[in-house]
Amino acid sequence: MPRAFSELTFTPAVRAHQERMGSARTYAKFIEGGPQQGHQIGAAEKAFIEARDGFYQSTVSETGWPYVQYRGGPVGFLKVLGPQTIGYADLSGNKQYISRGNLDGNDRIALILMDYANQQRLKILGRVEFTEGEAAATSLYPEGAETPAERAAIIRVEALDWNCPRHITPRFTEDELRPHLNALGQQLQQLQAENEKLKQQLAQRS
């Protein structure tokens, strides 16, 4: 776990529980000394982020309750704008504005980006700024989107962490399965052709 992420998430209450459970010493190295790490987007993170077609985001309401929402779109709709900046065009939805309203009161946001097929996930902590209006989101508008954008959402990344792949159940999209299905289809056609040829040979012998 990078130091930047542990500094934000290992609160006194978390550290106290680690002490009770016997893991405090294991995680001490991530918050005590050493260079600051895990606050910038590298090449691996950039490639991973821009290959996603959705992510989970969490905000916190004025009542203290977390609210988790799934954001989806064409592959690449979440864009890397700099070593500590990502952004997306906030498309028009069901008009509840729960996440949007929460972020007016608390600009902190947590994202989880999943690659189920390869059992990978990336966690991002950041702060959000909005620029209202469709024109503001023009440069972020994803090709292939079917709804208008209401604003540009810009996230300044404060920490990120590649989470353990354990317990991630592999799942596959249609696009991920298509090459394998095509190969199986070709094999099936070949077997059907061979079967038909054998039938004809047997018919000729009888």
Q: In whole angstroms, what is the distance from residue 145 CA to residue 46 CA?
A: 21
Per-residue b or e along 147-161, where b marks 16 or more CB atoms closer than 10 Å to that residue's CB: eebbbbbbbbbbbbb
Tens-digit pLDDT profile for the chain (206 aa)?
A: 788 888 899 999 999 999 999 999 888 888 776 566 788 999 999 999 999 999 999 999 999 999 999 999 889 999 999 999 999 999 888 889 999 999 999 999 999 999 999 999 999 999 999 999 988 889 898 887 888 889 999 999 999 999 888 899 999 888 888 888 898 899 999 999 889 888 888 888 87
Query: Cα(41)–Cα(85) distance, rounded to whole angstroms?
Result: 8
Q: Which residues are CB-neighbours of 24 under 8 A, at least 6 positions away?
A: 15, 18
The sheet with strand 66-72 has its strands ordered as 66-72, 54-60, 108-115, 120-132, 149-162, 85-91, 79-82
**What are the backbone angles phi and psi of residue 151, rounded to the nearest 5°?**
-170, 170
Nearest to 109 by CA among 168, 163, 68: 68
Residues 6+ apart with CB under 8 A from 8: 125, 158, 159
Q: What is the pTM assigned to this prediction? A: 0.84
Class of domain 38-191: mainly beta
List the domain boundaries for the chain. Answer: 1-37, 38-191
Decide: 27 and 1 in contact? Cβ < 8 Å: yes
| pLDDT per residue as tens digits for the range 21-55 | 999 988 888 877 656 678 899 999 999 999 999 99
66-72 and 120-132 as β-strands: parallel, antiparallel, unpaired?
unpaired
Summarize pLDDT for 119-143 with one digit per residue, the tens.
999 999 999 999 999 888 898 988 8
